[in-house]
Structure 1
Amino acid sequence: MLHATLKQLRYFVIAGELGSVTRAAQKINVSPPSISAAIAQLEDMAGVQLFVRHHAQGLSLTRGGELLLTRARSLLHDAEGLMQFAVSLGQDVAGPLSMVAFPTFAPIFMPRLMQEFLKAYPRVEPQCDEGHQMDIIEGLRSGRYELGIVYDMQVPDDIEFQALCRFPPYAAVAPDHPLAAHERVSIETLSDYPMVLLDWPMSRDYFLSLFVDAPRQPKIAHRATSIGMVRGLVANGFGFTLLNVPPGRHLALDGKAFRAIPLEGEVRALTVGIATLKGIRLSPVAQAMQDFLKESELVDLMSDSDKPPKETDG
C-alpha cells in the first residue's frame, strides 16, 4: 500500500460510498474501467478483497474494505487540507521572512523598515541578519536568505540586483581636525593626513580605490572592523575616515562628535539594492518586502544620502 496513489484511494472511496462503479464514474466524470482498475490495483497491493461484486447489483464492502474506507477517507481529508495550506503559501503574506543586509547600513535603516513593513503586514515574522558581501551572496545561494540588501560591488552573474539608492562617499573628521572648517575636501588633500580605515572585505578596497589617481596613498594610522570603532577613533582625533552611509547624528558611541564633509570632484558612489538569487520564485512575504523596499518613503530617506551631509550641533 506504500505505492497507492491519492487518485486510486479517491476512486475507491467514492465507489465504496456509492456502492457502484458506474455511479462513481458518473459522479467524477471518468470511465468505469478507470474506477475498476484503481480498485483492482489497491486489492493487489493490499493482498485482500475490498469489495464483493454483485452481478447487476453493484458492490458491497468486505470487512477489510470497510476498514480501509474509513482510513482512506481520513487520509484524503488530510491531503485536501495540506493542499489548501500549500496554496495559501503562495497567496498569504504571513510567516517568516529571512533577510540579510550589509552591516554599514543595516542598523541604520533595517529596523525602521521592518517596523513600517509590519504595519502593513502584521502577520509576518521578519528577521534581518548582518553580513559582508560574499557572506550575503552565499546565504542567498544556500537558501538561508530570500532577500539581501547589498552594495553594487562584485555582484556575481547568478544574483539579481535591483538598485534602490546611491550612497556617495564623504570624509569624517573630529571637530578640531585641521580640515574640519572645510566645506568640501579633495581626495588629494586627505592623503596628507592619517586615516582610520574601515577594514572590511570590499569596503577597504572601495575606499582605497578612491586614492588611485591621487599623488599619494593615504597614511593608514588605524584599522577597525566595526563602524562604531571607526567613528570613535575619528571623533577622538586619531584621523579622518571615509564613509558612505548617512551617519544620522554625527556622534560616536562615547558621545563625542565628528563632522561629515562632502568630497570634491567626481568620486564613485556606491549603489544599494536588493539582491535575490536568479530564477528563484520568491515567497509572497519576500515579494511583498521587495515591493515595499522599492516603494517605501524610507527609501526616499535613504536617497537623501545623495545630498551633502548636514551640519550638526554635536
Structure 2
Amino acid sequence: MNETTQLYYKKNRLKQLRAFCHAARAGSITLAAESLFLSQPSVSLQIQALEREMGITLFERRGPQIKLTPEGEVLYQLSDPLVEGMDKLHETFAAQCGRLESGEINVAAGESTILYILPEFMKRYADTYPHIRLKLHNVTGRDGMSMLRADDADFAVGSMIDVPDDVIYRPIFTYGPKLIVPLDHPLAKKRAVSLEDVSPHGLILPPHHLSTWRIVDLVFRQHGLGYRVALEAGGWEVIKKYVELGLGISIVTDVCLTGEEQLKAIPLDDYFPARSYGIVIRKGKFLSPQAKRFIEIMDPHFFEELEKEEEEGGKKSVKKRKK
C-alpha cells in the first residue's frame, strides 16, 4: 500500500468505523444507512473499504441480515467506544470543563421501575441539570435488552435474574415478596400464612411470559402444591386494584406497595426470593458524562465498584493463563 493510499484510508477511517459500528448494532446495512442519514451504497462502500484495509471479512451476509464474523466482533469491541467517544466529544469536553449544559440521555425501564423507583432520581437529575433532555422508554425486559444492544438506550434500570454475557448488571435496591389480600379476606386475619394456605385461593398474576409467573409456578411445584390463576393482568397498579375489589389475591414484590393501598400485605420470605433492581449497561458501552451523572445519582459508588470488578477479573484471567 503506497503512502497516498495510506493517507486516504487514515483520513476516512472514522467514517468507515462509524458505518461499520452502526451496521453491527443494527444487524442491517439498510438500518445503518437510515440512522446515519446516508444511502445504503455509501455505507456498503465504507465497510468494504475498511475490509480491504484490514484484510479481513467483517460480516457474514445472509440476505438483508448481517452477522459479525469473529474478526468483526473483535474490531467492533475495539472501535465502538472510540466511535461513540468521537461522536460525543463536544459533550464530554463540556463535562470535563464542569459544564453539563446540553445533551440527552435515554433510559430503558419497565413500568414498575418507572413508577416506584425512578421518580425520585429523575426529579433530582432534572433539578440539577435542567438543560439535559431525559427520555424514559417504558419497555419489557426483552425490549430493553434490544435497546441496549442497539445503543438506543444509554442504560437500563430494572430487575434481572439471568444476566447475559454481553451486559453488566449491578443491583442497587432489594425488595421482599409479599402476599396481598383484601382487608376482609380470611387470610388477612392470620398471623402467619403458609404456601398451603395460599394454594386454594385464586391468584391474580402478571402475563404468563413475565418472570413473576415463572417464579410463582416454580415455587408451588417445588412444594408439591397446585395453584389457580383467577385473573391475568398487566401492571402492579392494575393487580392491586383488582385485589382490592376482591377478584383474587396476588404475590408481588413490595417495591409496588406505597402503604396507601386498602390491602393486607403478608411477608412470604420463607418461600419466595427477594428481588433486586439496579443498573444494566452493555459491556464496552461508552457512557456519556450525562449518563454517568445519572447513574452516580442512583449509586455514587457504581463506577468505583465496576472498576474493582474489572481489575479482579483481569487478575483472574492472568492467573488462568499462567496455569
Q: If the length of structure 1 is used for normalisation, what is the TM-score?
A: 0.62
Tell whether 2:119 aligns with 1:114: no
> Which of 240, 248, 259 does residue 249 from structure 1 map onto?
259
Kindly state the Cα deviation for residue 4 of structure 1 after the two structures are TM-superposed. 9.4
Residue 128 (structure 1) aligned with residue 136 (structure 2): yes
2:248 maps to 239
How far apart in 2 are the matches of 1:84 and 1:230? Answer: 46
How far does residue 164 in structure 1 lie from its aligned partner after superposition?
A: 0.4
Distance 1:97 1:194, change over 3 A: same
Report the Cα offset of residue 212 of structure 1.
Answer: 2.8
The Cα shift of 1:104 comes to 1.8
**Partner SS, residue 186 of structure 2:** coil
Deviations 1:202-254 (A, max 9, x none): 23212332323223121111111222321121101111101102411343xxx
Of 289, 292, 295, 2:294 maps to 289
Check the 8 A contact 2:181/2:265 in 1, yes or no: yes
**Structure-2 separation of matches of 1:156 and 1:4:** 40
Aligned to 1:99: 107
> Which residue number in structure 2 is paired with residue 60 of structure 1?
none
CA distance in 1, matches of 2:88, 2:234: 48
Shift of 1:87: 5.1
Where does residue 231 of structure 2 map in the other structure?
A: 222
Confirm or deny: 8 A CA contact 2:113 2:157 kept in the other structure. Answer: no
How big is the shift at 1:89?
5.7
Gaps of 5+ in 2: 1-6, 12-86, 302-323
CA offsets per residue over residues 14-43 of structure 1, 9 Å max, x none? Answer: xxxxxxxxxxxxxxxxxxxxxxxxxxxxxx
Give secondary structure in 2 for the equivalent of 1:234: helix
Alignment pair present for 1:146 and 2:154: yes
Judged with a 3 Å threshold, the aligned counterparts in structure 2 of structure 1 residues 182 and 130 are, in CA distance, closer, same or farther, namely farther
Query: Secondary structure in 1 aligned to 2:108?
Result: strand
**Contact 1:89 1:284 survives alignment (8 Å):** no
Change (3 A) 1:147 1:188: same
Which amino acid is the alignment partner of residue 225 of structure 1? G
**Matches of residues 1-314 of structure 1 in structure 2 within 5 Å?**
85=90, 88=93, 91=96, 92-93=99-100, 94-199=102-207, 200-244=209-253, 245-251=255-261, 257-295=262-300
Partners of 2:158 and 2:278 within 8 A in 1: yes
Q: 1:281 to 1:260 in 2, by over 3 A?
A: same
Quickly say closer, same or farther: Cα 1:266–1:225, change in 2 above 3 A.
closer
Higher mean C-alpha deviation, range 164-173 or range 196-205: 196-205
1:164–1:294 Cα contact (<8 Å) kept: yes
Identity across aligned pairs (percent)?
22
Unaligned runs of 5+ in 1: 8-81, 252-256, 297-314
Q: Highest Rg: 1 or 2?
A: 1
What whole-Å deviation, never above 9, does each CA across 1:69-120 have from its counterpart, x for those lacking one? xxxxxxxxxxxxx998365366343421100112123112222210012222
CA separation of 1:83 and 1:177: change in aligned 2, threshold 3 A: closer
2: CA distance, partners of 1:205 / 1:83: 41
> Alignment length, in residue pairs?
215
- What is the distance in 1 between the residues matched to 2:143 and 2:252? 21
Supply the RMSD in Å over aligned alpha carbons. 2.7
CA 1:289–1:264 in 2, change beyond 3 Å: closer, same or farther? closer
Is residue 188–residue 211 contact of structure 1 (8 Å, CA) maintained in 2?
no
8 A Cα contact 2:173 2:277, kept in partner: yes
Quote the offset at 1:266 in angstroms.
Answer: 4.9
Q: 1:239 to 1:123 in 2, by over 3 A?
A: same
- SS of the residue 1:211 aligns to: helix
Residue 141 of structure 1 deviates from its aligned partner by 0.4
User: Counting helix residues as a fraction of each chain, which structure ranks higher?
Assistant: 2
| Change beyond 3 A, Cα 1:282–1:84 | closer
Decide whether the 8 Å contact of 1:193 with 1:240 is kept in 2.
Answer: yes
